Amino acid sequence: MASYKHPCKYCGKLIARDSNFCPFCTQENPLGPMRCPICRYPLEDGAKICGHCGILLWSMCKSCGKETFLGDKCSNCGVPIVIVCPNPRCRTEQPPTGKKCIKCGKPLR
């Protein structure tokens, strides 16, 4: 089965469709915000949840208070998006791209 390459949104060079970083310009998330941050499944514009893994794709930015796509940074203000582990003994800040805490392993949602 053929694996088609896609252009990096920063430098335009062709890269693998599941790339998390561009191997040429080194930018993170080179394929744009239209992939699931958990499973990298391609998303339709306006999708509310990922059709593959079921994660909710939109959240409120704690910095600007506006709704943003669940990516690396807020699409409105550019501040990194983080969530806090709900475990009172842990409270580790982390990217919202996992189902369990990266430190204690408790469920995040």
Rounded to the nearest 10°, the torsion over CA 92, 85, 20, 39 is: 160
Looking at residue 103, its pLDDT comes to: 92
At 14 the pLDDT is 94
What's the pLDDT score for residue 89?
A: 95
pLDDT at 4: 85
pLDDT value of position 87: 93
Q: Low-confidence residues of the chain, pLDDT below 50?
A: 1
